[in-house]
Amino acid sequence: MIDDDKDFGGLVSTHFSGLGYIVALAHSGKDGLAKAGALKADVIFLDMMMPDMNGIEVLRELRASDETSDIPVIVISGKYFDPGMSDLFTQESNFRAFVAKPVGLSILQQKVEALLKK
């Protein structure tokens, strides 16, 4: 999970860890890129607004790397999401879904389970 909101990241991490998943948290885009490549993540939750890089920049960096290009990414944001921006995301082959905060953990769980079944 790449998200600068430590409280939200901790909540998601606790939930998914309790289900048996291994969760790695990164609180910046640069840290998230490093961890995603090193850990070979199965799914990435990516916050849209972070201080060092925005979600589009991180998504594109993930797609551009051979190590991370095939990892499905779920973009999460607490800010208003302009429907026109969805065009930016859908152009990226690793983008799978957009979820607005606040989001129920069961919704995130359903999205992860659906991606992992593919």
The domain of 64 spans 6-117
In a domain, 20, yes or no: yes
Helices (H) and strands (E) in the chain, counts: 5, 3
pLDDT at 8 > cutoff 90: yes
Gyration radius (Cα) of the chain, Å: 13
Q: Looking at 1-118, list the stretches that DSSP marks H as alpha helix, in order from N- to C-terminal side.
A: 6-18, 29-39, 55-64, 86-90, 105-117
How high is the pLDDT of residue 59?
Answer: 94
Nearest by Cα to 72 from 25, 27, 117: 117
In a domain, 71, yes or no: yes
In a domain, 105, yes or no: yes
How high is the pLDDT of residue 98?
Answer: 86
- Looking at the chain, the whole-number percentage of residues with pLDDT higher than 90 is 68
How high is the pLDDT of residue 49?
Answer: 87
Query: What total of structural domains would you count in the chain?
Result: 1
In a domain, 36, yes or no: yes
In a domain, 25, yes or no: yes
Pairing between strand 73-77 and 95-100? parallel
CATH number, position 27 = 3.40.50.2300
In a domain, 1, yes or no: no
Contact 89, 59 (CB under 8 A): yes
pLDDT at 71 > cutoff 70: yes
Mean pLDDT of the chain: 90
Query: What are the tens digits of pLDDT across the range 11-68?
Result: 999 999 999 999 999 999 999 999 998 998 999 999 988 889 988 899 999 999 999 9
How high is the pLDDT of residue 81?
Answer: 61
More confident residue, 79 or 39: 39
How high is the pLDDT of residue 29?
Answer: 95
